[in-house]
Amino acid sequence: MKKSISLHCEISLNENKWVWKIFHRRGSGNASVSRLLPFPQQISPAEAIFSIQQGKLLNRTDYARFGASLYRNIIPQEFAALLNQATGGDCLFIVPPEWAIVPFELLYDNNGFWGDRFILGTVILLPETNFEQIQKNNSPLTFGIIADPANDLPEAYEEGVSIRNFLRSHKQNVRMISSGLPEKISEILSGNSVVHFAGHSEFSESSGRFGWKLKNGELFDLTGKDKKALQNPPSLVFSNSCEAACTSKELAGVAGAFMQSGVAQIVGPFTRVADKEAQQCAAVFYEKFLQSMHPAKALLLMKKICSDSAASLVYRLFGDPCWTFSQPAISEPRHNVNIKRKKTKPVLLIAAIIIFLLLVLLFIPFPGGDGIQYIHPK
């Protein structure tokens, strides 16, 4: 019988071979469900994503072929059996930096793309990652939008306005900027629990730079001072910018840098995305996010709803897919507390009132009686 699964899937090196270690995340605690499982083919991450880097994937059929090849190369039979038996659930991938570039969402078996069936998330084993801070929710829920800070992408500005208007129509607290000043961007990042970025991002292994593009060729540099300026990072960053989900062994990339800063979840594409498709994907994501407060579930639904194009396939989530926002607790109004205190009486006073009422009933004469009420029989 098929069932929901919840797995912790870890990649590591063992005797110079890439291996998987699989754990249950619920039900059996962290009990291992596998021995060390070597990859069917000992390929490198660069070999695994060669066709993506060459830009050879143009439609969903191309991505399915790629995903099927990736599946055959890196998924052992025992691992595959766990997913084949499942109708849904979640998988957390714990990977070294060199494997973070591989989009596990595109793994494709007889039942389709894994990213269309399960909520998935990738955690990169990077130094200085603030895992303790990642466990915390920012409350109350507030939204910050950074739209077209480079001032050369009007479609990105339109995307920001559309999302802002949608969130405000649902009574959400939203602040939007299009400023290219790093200090203004840091202010948005440090002052909101959810931040949406619409614009250009840069990931350059040759220069060793990555971040968000600003005006005049400047960069919100996530390799240095701009990253260090984040005093109170958001819980969720949706970086709707080309190659925002790119990373490598040497460079953490936008996703890795935010994860190191303590951001719980980062969503973004690992390739270039057409403007209109990017806008549609973002709009559906926020609609589903407000319904569930669960980013990974919102991303899964977005992939299903936007399945008429290949764009939805290239969005990834970095972080624990089971992490979710908790609705802020509503504190009891002060006047209600006072009312309760007024109703609270000393025990002796209550007893005296009861005795007084009994005396009234027993000894005050009723009309036509002698102090005791009497009902004549019919």
**Residue 203: per-residue pLDDT:** 80
Query: Quick one: pLDDT at residue 356?
Result: 56
**Domains in the chain: boundaries:** 3-124, 131-318
Tell me, rounded to whole angstroms, the distance of Cα 30 from its chain centroid.
22
> Which residue's structure tokens are 């390929």?
43
**CB under 8 Å to 221, separation ≥6 — which residues?**
182, 209, 211, 227
Please give the pLDDT value at position 367: 41
Give the span between the Cα atoms of 289 and 263, in whole angstroms: 17
In this structure, the strands spanning 265-269 and 236-240 are parallel
The CATH architecture of the domain made up of 131-318 is 3-Layer(aba) Sandwich (3.40)
pLDDT at residue 349, as a whole number: 59
Q: Residue 2's pLDDT is what?
A: 64
- Rounded to a whole number of angstroms, the distance between the first and last alpha carbons of the chain is 72
Q: Are 254 and 207 in contact (CB under 8 A)?
A: no
CA 308 to chain centre: 23
The predicted pLDDT at position 115 comes to 96
Burial 256-287 (b: 16+ CB within 10 A, else e): bbbbbbbbbbbbbbbbebeeebbbbbbbbbbe
The span from the CA of 150 to the CA of 237, in Å, is 19
* Distance from C-alpha of 105 to C-alpha of 102, rounded to nearest angstrom: 9
Provide the pLDDT for residue 232: 85
Three-state DSSP state, 315: strand
pLDDT of residue 372: 28
Buried b (16+ CB within 10 A) or exposed e, 2-31: eeebbbbbbbeeeeeebbbbbbbbeeeeee
> Tell me, what's the pLDDT at 208?
77
| pTM of this structure | 0.81
pLDDT of residue 355: 58
pLDDT tens per residue across all 378 residues of the chain: 568 899 999 999 999 999 999 998 875 544 566 679 999 999 999 898 888 877 788 899 999 999 999 999 999 999 999 888 888 999 999 999 999 999 999 999 999 999 999 999 999 987 766 555 555 554 689 999 999 999 999 999 999 999 999 999 999 999 999 998 999 999 999 989 999 999 998 887 777 778 899 988 888 988 777 666 677 889 999 999 987 777 777 777 888 888 888 899 999 998 888 999 999 999 999 999 999 999 999 999 999 999 988 999 999 999 999 999 976 433 333 333 333 333 434 555 566 665 555 554 444 443 443 332 223 333
CB neighbour list of residue 328: distance below 8 Å, 6 or more residues apart? 139, 140, 141
